[in-house]
Each structure stands twice: as structure tokens, then as C-alpha cells.
Amino acid sequence: MTVPIDASPLAGRRVLLIVGGGIAAVKAPDLIRRLRERGAAVRCVLTQAGHEFTTPLALSSLSEDRVFTDLFDLTDESEMGHIQLSRQADIVLVAPATANLMGRMAAGMAPDLAATLLLATDKPVMLAPAMNVRMWLHPATQRNLALLQGDGVMVVGPNEGNMACGEFGPGRMAEPLEIVAALEAHFGPRPLQGLRALVTSGPTHEPIDPVRYIANRSSGKQGHAIAAALARAGAKTVLVSGPTSQPDPAGVEVRRIETARQMLDACEAALPADIAVCAAAVADWRVATEAGEKLKKEKGGGPPGLAFAENPDILATLSGRAEARPGLVIGFAAETEKVIEHAVAKRQRKGCDWILANDVSPATGTFGGDNNSVTLISAGEPDTWPPLSKQQVAERLVQRIALHLGRT
Ligand code: CTP
């Protein structure tokens, strides 16, 4: 999300930043810098373990404020008490949030200053978790995460990638600019507040037998980015997603499915909705002869013959509903030639309100890539957008939706 720095919703906000003990604490100075250049005031609390990775001096130089480090500083009447410290912020941000700190929060324990502040605060809390992939995926951490989210704690990240410990997977702290974007979204205008949105994303998997399936190369990046942007704009958003490696977007209810028919059922179960965006690359065909047991090679038998059946068209089904049709139904048209012509015809054929036409010919790198070249086809003139990142396409689409619904 690109928010002009001088117009950031963070201007004038007070962020209490708790820096936990993990290698990602080295990103804290950059995070403070990014927050401050958007006009936020940052006050830091450094945990005991955080001292191993960054220093109070680094944090205080960038925040231009003193850094609080342990409970005993605050027992003196002349010092600011921890209750006050936790209340004087507009938001409490924990970055990095370690498994240990999340566990303490989930259990309501307060053995040190950071945990005490988190227990004593009446302000919104956002976590940027960072830990080893096994620790993140451990049922205890996932249980704590669910408890914390149930308590209203917001979470940004973690991202997937190579980790300092040499492993690969989810557990890397979100980048400072992603954390900034999440905070801006929290404080920013929410034009779609009170509306419900439904988004499909990712590929579908159509089984051949219990171990094999037919799929496609959709990454789910565009659909997930749209769901995240709708949620940031205040819409209560359900994301029905085929198998992808995208992390669940913050503030979005995710329903995971595998096949096109499951996707349709999940979409219908999520109605009513004011806005539906079908970004999934749904398999047009499923294997009609799905085998109950693994297909075996039979000597001299040759490869098995597969018969196909047509899958339901989710976009057309939602668009054609007599009852509970979402007020604004938006589809995508992935085309490799005559992009606008095909997309205009597709909009008519499917009965949706808008189509985002995108050129997915291999030279564009759109499928699986980070960027998208899009033309918005509505009842009016086609509107071609400049090449944008998938995040920016999502933001622009949400702006157009808000405009169309008179919500700006
Ligand atoms: N779509 C859907 N259900 C299907 C097929 C497609 O909801 N069974 C939706 C997609 O999510 C997208 C739009 O329809 O929003 C167009 O998808 P696309 O693959 O471009 O079109 P198809 O209907 O598959 O048409 P064709 O393959 O002939 O271009």
C-alpha cells in the first residue's frame, strides 16, 4: 500500500513499541524510523532478551525518547507507572513478538515489564510475530495465536522465507513497511465499514484418484491481496481459498477448500454479501471418473483414460442468483490474446457487473508473479490501469468499489 508519507493516518499517533528477544529485533530501528517519518511518536520498551539483539541506545536515538527496560524502573513514585505507560499510547505494537511473549499474553501472565504493560493496557494491540518455523507451527503457538486473536489482538505476518536459523517457512517478522501499512490500515479511513465482502482466490485441485489431482499455476496473490484490502477498508470479509502458500490476510475469515464444487458451496454459505470478487482460477473441468483407489499401472494396459465433467461456474452462479445476489459482483478475465474483446464478452456471458481483464500471456509474468496489468470493464468505457503490483491493484479496486457505492 502506498500512502503518501505526509498524509499518513499515523501522523500524530503515539505508538508504544515493545521489542522482544529475537534476531528480528535488529529491524526495530528501521521500524522506528519509518513510523517517525510518517509523523508517529514512538516510545520503546526493550525486553531482557531483546537486549541481546539491539540496544537501548539505538532505540532511544531513533525514537528520541527514553527506553523502558524493566519493571523495577517503574516502582519509584517519581517514575511513570506501568499502567500509565500502557495507557498513554494510541496503540501497543509488539515487534518482534516471540513465542514466549505470545504465550505470556495468552495466559495473562505478567512477569516482566512488557507482559505487564500488555496485561494492563486498554489500547489496541498489534503483534508482528517472529520465530523459528517449528515454533510458529507448533500447536501451542497456534493455540495462543487463536486465543489472542479471539481477544481482539491484531497480527501482521509472519512472512515465509529463509530464516536466520537456516530453516525455511513461515516465521520471519513482517518487514517494517508491512507493519507500517498494517498500522496505517488500522488508523486509516474505513469506507466499507458495515458491508460484507466475499472473495475467491487461488487454484482449485480436482482429484484424479486419492493421490493425484489436476491443478493450475495460480498463486492466490491477487485474490488474497484483494481480501486484505477489503478488510482494511472495513468490510467484513470472507476469503474462500483453494490451496495456496499465501499467509491468511489479517482481519479476514478464511475458508479453505480444494475443489470447484467445494468453493461454490463455501461461497453460497458465506452469503449474503454486498460485494463478491471472484479472483480464483477455478478448474473448468473435473475428472468425472475420479477413482476411489490409487490408479495402478497395468502391464500392457497403457495410460488410463480420463473422462471430464464441467465444473460449476462460481462467478456466473453468484451473478445469476435470483435471491441474495451480491450487489456488486466482480470477476477476472485471464486472457492471452484479444484481452479486452474477450473480457467484454465474458462480462456479458457471466452476468457480472465488472470484469478485471488481465493479460496472462507468459511474456507478462502475471501468473504467479507480483505485478498485474489490468483493464476494468464495466457498463461504461474500459478503464486501463498502469502496470501495478498486485497489492496496488487490490487497493485501487477497493477505491473504485468505495466510489461506486458512494462510500468515499
Ligand atoms: N470462474 C469461476 N468459476 C469457474 C470458472 C471461472 O468463478 N468455474 C471465474 C474466475 O474466478 C474469474 C472468471 O470466472 O473471475 C473468469 O475466469 P477465466 O478463467 O478467465 O474464464 P473461464 O470462464 O474459464 O473462460 P475461458 O477459459 O473460456 O476463457
| Ligand 1 pocket, residue 313 CB under 6 Å | yes
Asked if residue 350 has pLDDT above 70, the reply is: yes
pLDDT of residue 74: 58
- AA identity, residue 48: Q
pLDDT of residue 2: 41
Which of 147, 162, 187 is at the close of a domain? 187
| Ligand 1 pocket, residue 158 CB under 6 Å | no
The model's confidence at residue 288, banded by pLDDT at 50, 70 and 90, is: very high
Check whether residue 112 and residue 175 sit in a common domain. yes
Total-model pTM: 0.66
Check whether residue 32 and residue 103 sit in a common domain. yes
φ, ψ at 213 (rounded to 5°)? -150, 165
pLDDT of residue 105: 97
pLDDT of residue 7: 59
C-alpha separations of 330 from 277, 352, 354, 355 in Å = 5, 6, 5, 6
Cβ of 357: how many Cβ atoms within 10 Å?
24
- Name the active-site residue from 165, 267, 278, 352: 165
Q: Which of 214, 226, 241, 315 has most ligand 1 atoms within 8 Å of CB, for mutation?
A: 315
Centre of ligand 1 to C-alpha 399, Å, is 24
44 is catalytic: no
Which CATH number does the domain housing residue 33 bear?
Answer: 3.40.50.1950
Check whether residue 227 and residue 147 sit in a common domain. no
Q: Which of 217, 241, 278, 318 has most ligand 1 atoms within 8 Å of CB, for mutation?
A: 278
pLDDT of residue 161: 79
Which of 145, 165, 187 is at the close of a domain? 187
Check whether residue 174 and residue 228 sit in a common domain. no
Give the residue from 322, 249, 316 showing the smallest Cα distance to 278: 316
Minimum CA distance residue for ligand 1 atom 8:
313
The model's confidence at residue 73, banded by pLDDT at 50, 70 and 90, is: low
Check whether residue 160 and residue 229 sit in a common domain. no
Which of 152, 168, 187 is at the close of a domain? 187
Check whether residue 136 and residue 217 sit in a common domain. no
| Ligand 1 pocket, residue 226 CB under 6 Å | no
Range of the domain at 351: 196-404
Give the residue from 344, 397, 361, 359 showing the smallest Cα distance to 223: 397
Check whether residue 278 and residue 167 sit in a common domain. no
| Ligand 1 pocket, residue 260 CB under 6 Å | yes
Check whether residue 178 and residue 212 sit in a common domain. no
Lowest-pLDDT range of 15-29, 246-260, 354-368: 354-368
Centre of ligand 1 to C-alpha 282, Å, is 6
**Rounded Cα–Cα distance for residues 290 and 211 (Å):** 11
Total domains, the chain: 2
pLDDT of residue 85: 83
Tell me which H or E stretch contains 129. strand 125-129
The model's confidence at residue 81, banded by pLDDT at 50, 70 and 90, is: confident
- What average pLDDT does this structure show over 329-343? 94
pLDDT of residue 169: 81
Centre of ligand 1 to C-alpha 358, Å, is 12
Please tell me which residue, 82 or 246, carries the higher pLDDT value: 246
| Ligand 1 pocket, residue 206 CB under 6 Å | no
| Ligand 1 pocket, residue 332 CB under 6 Å | yes
Check whether residue 205 and residue 250 sit in a common domain. yes
Lowest-pLDDT range of 75-84, 193-202, 249-258: 75-84
| Ligand 1 pocket, residue 315 CB under 6 Å | yes
Average pLDDT of every residue of the chain:
90
pLDDT of residue 70: 77
The model's confidence at residue 75, banded by pLDDT at 50, 70 and 90, is: low
Check whether residue 394 and residue 374 sit in a common domain. yes
Check whether residue 219 and residue 254 sit in a common domain. yes
**Rounded Cα–Cα distance for residues 71 and 63 (Å):** 20
Asked if residue 78 has pLDDT above 60, the reply is: no
- What average pLDDT does this structure show over 254-276? 98
Check whether residue 360 and residue 294 sit in a common domain. yes
φ, ψ at 376 (rounded to 5°)? -90, 120
pLDDT of residue 36: 94
Asked if residue 259 has pLDDT above 90, the reply is: yes
Give the residue from 177, 233, 234, 183 showing the smallest Cα distance to 16: 183
Burial (0-12, 13-18, 19+ Cβ within 10 Å), 303: exposed
Which CATH number does the domain housing residue 325 bear?
Answer: 3.40.50.10300
The model's confidence at residue 26, banded by pLDDT at 50, 70 and 90, is: very high
